[in-house]
Amino acid sequence: MKPYIFITRKLPNDIVDQLSLRYEVSMWGYEDIAVPKERLLQEAAKANALLTMLSEQVSEEVLSAGPNLKVVANMAVGYDNVDVNTAAKKGIAVCNTPDVLTDSTADLTFGLMLAAGRRMVESSEYIKQNKWQSWSPMLLAGQDIHHKTLGIFGMGKIGEAVAQRAKGFNMKVIYHNRTRKTEQEQRLGAKFCSFTELIQSADFVVCLAPLTDETRKAFTYEIFKQMKNTAVFINASRGGLVDEQGLLTALQTGEITAAGLDVFEREPISADHPLLKLPNVVALPHIGSSSRETRMAMMQLCVDNIIAVLSGEKPPALVNQDWKPKN
């Protein structure tokens, strides 16, 4: 029998056909509706490979549902939705899609900085609502991005790409990371600093760290209170790094000026989410890597990861590095 693959979201035929030529493939038939947990468990019980989205919780229950699962190919650079420890114990390869989305996510992160700092969305709504009656000197005045201090929390590859873009705006770049990166400091002109120095000194605080036990709710109201009251907070990583009630309070009380958010604690959010009621919040539906070119590259990497593992080879993007192909 051919190995069985389950794909948790509808993907283009060009991608699916590469798997169908080799394997038996089943796919959840919706682009914008997450696969129900019950269906995921049913499929995991018989699958040799799962191609998952970040919206799926690939828990111990899912990983233990069947005896034949060999690989989980997660279409994201982050993998906090996958129980990697359980997968490692069971000899299941966990794969992700790093590198191919770095530049696209950095572009969007910088776009959030510009939009929130210069009040672009608010200004667009202003004119659409027919409020623009005359030019005035301080109409919807935001703040400059150029020559300001950018503080990056999480200097991975996306953080480095954001720092590279900041050079073109003559920004001073400071960063906090679990490990210091001296080579990147020299190349990017960035300065390593403590978390406290970063939040107190930066004009734009950009959150790009992965979601871990150490980083969960790293940004609370007490942290926002330490920022400049002119600071703009950007989160393009994971919503779980932020205490949303603390952020809401900080924005309402003027502890910080604005926020640009591509991610939220629980996704998707509804239109009545309290953060969406604030004019100084730019909110996006988790589209950091959502360019046509990048999403296709992410899908292709998932396919390459699955084919490699099921062929008994090491995949190109392996999360649990201790995993080894079985003879």
Cβ atoms 4, 46 nearer than 8 A: yes
Q: What is the dihedral of CA 183, 166, 76, 214, to 10 degrees?
A: 70
Half-sphere exposure of residue 319: CA atoms within 13 angstroms, side-chain side: 27
Q: What are phi and psi of 204, to 5 degrees?
A: -125, 120
- So what's the architecture of 102-283 in CATH? 3-Layer(aba) Sandwich (3.40)
Distance of CA 89 to the CA centre of its chain: 26
CA distances from 263 to 82, 154, 239, 242 (A): 18, 16, 5, 10
4-98+292-310 and 102-283 agree in CATH topology: yes
- Judged by DSSP in three states, 261 sits in strand
Q: Which amino acid is it at 243?
A: D
**DSSP-assigned letters across all residues of 150-219:** EEEE--SHHHHHHHHHHHTTT-EEEEE-SS--HHHHHHHTEEE--HHHHHHH-SEEEE-----TTTTT-B
- Torsion over CA: 190, 192, 195, 200 (sign): negative
Neighbours of 181 (CB within 10 A): 17
Between CA 53 and CA 65 the distance in angstroms is 18
Give the position of tokens 């988790």. 286
- Torsion over CA: 253, 107, 208, 171 (sign): negative
Six token digits for residue 196: 């406290």
Between CA 324 and CA 126 the distance in angstroms is 57
Six token digits for residue 64: 């233990």
Cβ atoms 257, 141 nearer than 8 A: no
Six token digits for residue 137: 């000197």
Each residue's pLDDT, cut to its tens digit, for the chain (327 residues) gives 899 999 999 999 999 999 999 999 999 999 999 999 999 999 999 999 999 999 999 999 999 999 999 999 999 999 999 999 999 999 999 999 999 999 999 999 999 999 999 999 999 999 999 999 999 999 999 999 999 999 999 999 999 999 999 999 999 999 999 999 999 999 999 999 999 999 999 999 999 999 999 999 999 999 999 999 999 999 999 999 999 999 999 999 999 999 999 999 999 999 999 999 999 999 999 999 999 999 999 999 999 999 999 999 999 999 999 998 865
Helix (H) or strand (E) holding 24: strand 24-27
Between CA 129 and CA 131 the distance in angstroms is 6
Distance of CA 207 to the CA centre of its chain: 10
Active-site amino acid positions? 238, 267, 286
Domain residue extents for the chain:
4-98+292-310, 102-283
Give the position of tokens 């939009």. 115
- Judged by DSSP in three states, 199 sits in helix
Burial class (CB in 10 A: 0-12, 13-18, 19+), 150: buried
Report pLDDT digits (tens) over 224-262. 999 999 999 999 999 999 999 999 999 999 999 999 999
Cβ atoms 232, 207 nearer than 8 A: no
Q: Does domain 4-98+292-310 have CATH number 3.40.50.720?
A: yes
Report pLDDT digits (tens) over 25-48. 999 999 999 999 999 999 999 999
The whole model's pTM is what?
0.94
